[in-house]
Amino acid sequence: MKAIILSQFYAADLTDAVRGVIGSEPVQVPDAVSCADELADADILFCQPSLANATLVAAINRSPRLRWVQVLGSGVDNFSRITEERAKTLIVTNAAAAYGDAVAEHAVALALALLRRVPELVVAQASRQWIKPWLTDELSSLEGASAAVVGFGAIGQGIARRLDAFGCSVVAVRRNLGAPAPKGFEHVRFAPLEEALPQAELLFLALPLTQDSTKLIDGRAFSLMPRRARLINVSRGSIIATLAMMAALESGALAAAALDVFEHEPLPPESPLWALPNVLISPHVAGRGNRCVGRRMNEICLANLRAFLEGRLA
C-alpha cells in the first residue's frame, strides 16, 4: 500500500506513525507538482490544504487507484474541483478537531484585542501618549456581551466554550438546527442566521466555505447586526462580501473587524484593508503556535487510517 504525505508541518511525525500501521515507507513530497507525479499508483494521500492547488486536484481526478485523501486541516474547499465521478470512489476527511481549540483561542484573543482596544494601546505607546481620558469610554468587555457563533463544529464549539467562561451569552448558527445540542452545550441557543444577527454584538465566523456559504455575510447581514458590532473571522475570507464589510466599517455601522483569513492570500499590499484603522489583520495563523495540535493531528490521522484499512471510513 502506497501513502503520500504532503505537508510542511507534520511530515516527519506522520511518516513514522503511518509506517507503523501500513508496514511500508510513506512517500514524503515537497510540493504539489511532486505529489501529482507520485499519485498514479498511490492509495492514500495526507495533504496540507494550503498546498492543494489546481495541478494536484487535476492529478487526483486522474488517479483512480487513490481511495482516500486525509486533509491535514479544517477546510476542504481547495478540493472542491474533484469531479463528481471521481468523488464516487474517493473518501475525503478533514482534521478540524486537531485545530479546534487553537483556532478558538486565537478568535477570542482577537475579540479581546478589539474590545480592550489593544491596537490603539500599541499606537499610543509608540508615540508615548497617555490615552486614558479617551480610552475609558471606548473599552468594552466580553462579560455581559452577546455573541453569535456561525458554524458549530470543533472551532465554533471551542469559541462558545471560551465565551461562556468569560460570561458572554452565545447564540449559535448551524446547518441542522433541529439536532440535539452537543454534550456540554445544552445551554447554548441555536437559531437561524437572520435571528442570530440582531443579537450579535460580536459575530464569530467559524464555518466551512461552500457554495452556500460564499458571501454569506453581505450588506444585508451587516444591516441586521446591532450598530457598532464587531466581526471576527477565522474561517475563510470568501464567506464575507469584502466590499460590503468595508462599507460597514467606514460608515461606523461595524465598529471593528479582526480578520485571520482573506479572499486572496497573502493579502496584497495594495488591499485597502491594510489602511482601515478599525481592522486588525492576522496573517492566517490562528491554528499555529499550539503545542497540542501536532499530537491531535497524529491521533486523528491514525484513527482514520485504521478505520480506512478496516473498511469503516466513510
- Determine whether 277 is exposed, middle or buried from the number of CB atoms within 10 Å of its CB (0-12, 13-18, 19+): exposed
Band of residue 239 on the pLDDT scale cut at 50, 70, 90: very high
What's the pLDDT at 300? 98
3-state secondary structure of 167: coil
pLDDT tens sequence across 268-303: 999 999 999 999 999 999 999 999 999 999 999 999
Model confidence at 209: pLDDT above 90:
yes
- β partners of residue 148: 171, 203
Q: What is the mean pLDDT of residues 195-217?
A: 97
What secondary structure letter does DSSP report for 182?
P
Give percent of the chain with pLDDT exceeding 90.
Answer: 99
Strand pairing of 279-281 and 229-233? Answer: unpaired
Residues 272 and 249: their CA atoms lie apart, in Å, by: 12
Q: What is the mean pLDDT of residues 48-58?
A: 96
Query: 265 catalytic, yes or no?
Result: yes
Which residue is catalytic, options 106, 162, 284, 296? 284
pLDDT tens sequence across 9-38: 999 999 999 999 999 999 999 999 999 999
Give per-residue burial for 150-162: e unless 16+ CB within 10 Å, then b.
bbbbbbbbbbbbb
Angle value at C-alpha 222, between 216 and 223, nearest 5 degrees: 125
Query: 161 catalytic, yes or no?
Result: no
Give percent of the chain with pLDDT exceeding 70.
Answer: 100
Residues 7 and 226: their CA atoms lie apart, in Å, by: 42
- β partners of residue 150: 173, 205
Residues 260 and 253: their CA atoms lie apart, in Å, by: 21
What angle, rounded to 10 degrees, do the helices at 96-115 and 293-309 form? 150
Which residue is catalytic, options 25, 85, 250, 265? 265
Superfamily of 100-281 according to CATH? NAD(P)-binding Rossmann-like Domain (3.40.50.720)
Residues 148 and 221: their CA atoms lie apart, in Å, by: 12
Residues 16 and 5: their CA atoms lie apart, in Å, by: 11
Neighbours of 21 (CB within 10 A): 16
Band of residue 82 on the pLDDT scale cut at 50, 70, 90: very high
What's the pLDDT at 157? 98
Which residue is catalytic, options 162, 174, 236, 296? 236
Superfamily of 3-94+291-309 according to CATH? NAD(P)-binding Rossmann-like Domain (3.40.50.720)
What's the pLDDT at 211? 94
Neighbours of 265 (CB within 10 A): 12
Neighbours of 90 (CB within 10 A): 19
Query: 236 catalytic, yes or no?
Result: yes
Model confidence at 314: pLDDT above 90:
no
pLDDT tens sequence across 97-121: 999 999 999 999 999 999 999 999 9
Band of residue 131 on the pLDDT scale cut at 50, 70, 90: very high
pLDDT tens sequence across 144-182: 999 999 999 999 999 999 999 999 999 999 999 989 999
Place of cell 508615540: 127
The CATH 3.40.50.720 domain(s) of the chain lie at: 3-94+291-309, 100-281
Residues 190 and 257: their CA atoms lie apart, in Å, by: 23
What's the pLDDT at 37? 96
Residues 192 and 170: their CA atoms lie apart, in Å, by: 13
Band of residue 7 on the pLDDT scale cut at 50, 70, 90: very high
Strands laid side by side in the 254-259 sheet: 189-190, 169-173, 146-150, 202-205, 229-233, 254-259, 279-281
Residues 151 and 94: their CA atoms lie apart, in Å, by: 16
